[in-house]
Protein backbone atom coordinates (compact mmCIF):
# COMPACT_ATOMS: atom_id res chain seq x y z
CA UNK A 1 0.00 0.00 0.00
CA UNK A 2 1.28 3.45 -0.89
CA UNK A 3 0.69 6.22 1.64
CA UNK A 4 0.26 9.93 1.10
CA UNK A 5 2.88 11.88 3.07
CA UNK A 6 1.84 15.24 4.53
CA UNK A 7 4.14 17.55 6.50
CA UNK A 8 2.57 19.93 9.00
CA UNK A 9 3.57 23.58 8.94
CA UNK A 10 5.31 23.10 12.29
CA UNK A 11 7.36 20.19 10.95
CA UNK A 12 8.27 22.24 7.88
CA UNK A 13 9.41 25.12 10.12
CA UNK A 14 11.42 22.65 12.23
CA UNK A 15 13.13 21.29 9.12
CA UNK A 16 13.94 24.75 7.76
CA UNK A 17 15.19 25.96 11.15
CA UNK A 18 17.51 22.96 11.49
CA UNK A 19 18.79 23.55 7.95
CA UNK A 20 19.48 27.22 8.73
CA UNK A 21 21.37 26.21 11.89
CA UNK A 22 23.38 23.71 9.87
CA UNK A 23 24.29 26.38 7.29
CA UNK A 24 25.37 28.85 9.99
CA UNK A 25 27.32 26.38 12.12
CA UNK A 26 28.66 23.93 9.55
CA UNK A 27 28.44 24.84 5.87
CA UNK A 28 25.79 25.82 3.35
CA UNK A 29 26.71 22.89 1.11
CA UNK A 30 26.40 20.44 3.98
CA UNK A 31 23.10 22.06 5.04
CA UNK A 32 21.68 21.60 1.54
CA UNK A 33 22.84 17.97 1.42
CA UNK A 34 21.28 17.36 4.85
CA UNK A 35 18.00 19.05 3.83
CA UNK A 36 17.76 17.14 0.54
CA UNK A 37 18.62 13.83 2.21
CA UNK A 38 16.18 14.29 5.07
CA UNK A 39 13.43 15.43 2.70
CA UNK A 40 13.98 12.29 0.59
CA UNK A 41 13.89 10.13 3.72
CA UNK A 42 10.58 11.74 4.72
CA UNK A 43 9.16 11.10 1.24
CA UNK A 44 10.20 7.44 1.62
CA UNK A 45 7.55 7.14 4.34
CA UNK A 46 5.10 6.61 1.46
CA UNK A 47 6.28 3.00 1.46
CA UNK A 48 5.91 0.91 4.63
CA UNK A 49 5.99 3.68 7.26
CA UNK A 50 5.21 1.10 9.95
CA UNK A 51 8.76 -0.24 9.55
CA UNK A 52 9.93 2.67 11.73
CA UNK A 53 9.80 2.28 15.52
CA UNK A 54 7.17 3.68 17.82
CA UNK A 55 8.47 6.79 19.60
CA UNK A 56 8.85 6.41 23.37
CA UNK A 57 6.72 9.45 24.17
CA UNK A 58 3.83 7.80 22.33
CA UNK A 59 2.92 6.09 25.62
CA UNK A 60 1.77 9.34 27.21
CA UNK A 61 -0.20 10.58 24.22
CA UNK A 62 -3.56 9.62 22.74
CA UNK A 63 -2.02 8.68 19.38
CA UNK A 64 0.72 6.39 18.19
CA UNK A 65 3.82 8.33 17.18
CA UNK A 66 6.56 6.77 15.13
CA UNK A 67 9.99 8.15 14.31
CA UNK A 68 12.32 8.21 11.35
CA UNK A 69 15.95 8.85 12.31
CA UNK A 70 18.24 10.69 9.90
CA UNK A 71 21.80 11.99 9.76
CA UNK A 72 24.49 12.58 7.16
CA UNK A 73 27.07 10.36 8.79
CA UNK A 74 26.90 7.01 10.51
CA UNK A 75 24.97 8.40 13.45
CA UNK A 76 21.55 9.99 13.15
CA UNK A 77 21.19 13.54 14.45
CA UNK A 78 17.48 14.23 13.89
CA UNK A 79 14.17 12.47 13.79
CA UNK A 80 10.92 13.05 11.97
CA UNK A 81 8.02 12.25 14.30
CA UNK A 82 4.92 11.07 12.50
CA UNK A 83 1.63 9.26 12.86
CA UNK A 84 -0.20 7.02 10.42
CA UNK A 85 -3.86 7.78 9.75
CA UNK A 86 -5.50 5.36 7.32
CA UNK A 87 -3.68 5.98 4.00
CA UNK A 88 -1.85 9.12 5.19
CA UNK A 89 1.46 9.61 6.99
CA UNK A 90 1.36 12.90 8.88
CA UNK A 91 4.79 14.27 9.84
CA UNK A 92 4.18 16.29 13.00
CA UNK A 93 7.63 17.47 14.07
CA UNK A 94 11.31 17.33 13.15
CA UNK A 95 13.52 17.26 16.22
CA UNK A 96 17.20 16.96 17.07
CA UNK A 97 17.84 13.76 19.00
CA UNK A 98 19.09 15.81 21.96
CA UNK A 99 15.80 17.71 22.29
CA UNK A 100 13.31 16.78 24.98
CA UNK A 101 10.50 14.39 24.18
CA UNK A 102 7.39 15.70 22.52
CA UNK A 103 4.50 16.67 24.79
CA UNK A 104 0.87 17.21 23.76
CA UNK A 105 1.49 20.97 23.43
CA UNK A 106 4.23 20.34 20.83
CA UNK A 107 1.79 18.88 18.31
CA UNK A 108 -0.52 21.01 16.18
Tell whether the model's pLDDT for residue 108 goes beyond 80: no
Cα distance between residue 33 and residue 91, in whole Å: 20
Q: At what angle do helices 28-43 and 9-25 cross, to 10 degrees?
A: 150
Average pLDDT of every residue of the chain: 93
E-state strands within the chain: 4-7, 66-70, 78-85, 88-96
Q: CB 1: neighbour CB atoms within 10 A?
A: 7
Structural domains of the chain, with CATH: 4-98 (3.30.2310.20)
The size of the chain, in residues, is 108
Instruction: Summarize the confidence of residues 13-39 as an average pLDDT.
Output: 95
Q: How many CB atoms lie within 10 A of CB 54?
A: 12
Do the beta carbons of residue 89 and residue 6 sit within 8 Å? yes
Handedness of CA 13, 17, 23, 24 (dihedral sign): positive
pLDDT digits (tens, 9 = 90+) for 41-76: 999 999 999 999 999 888 878 889 999 999 988 899
pLDDT exceeding 70 applies to what percent of the chain? 99
Amino acid sequence: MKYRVLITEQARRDLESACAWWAQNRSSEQAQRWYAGFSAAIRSLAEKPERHPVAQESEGLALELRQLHFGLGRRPTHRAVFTIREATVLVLRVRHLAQRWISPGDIE
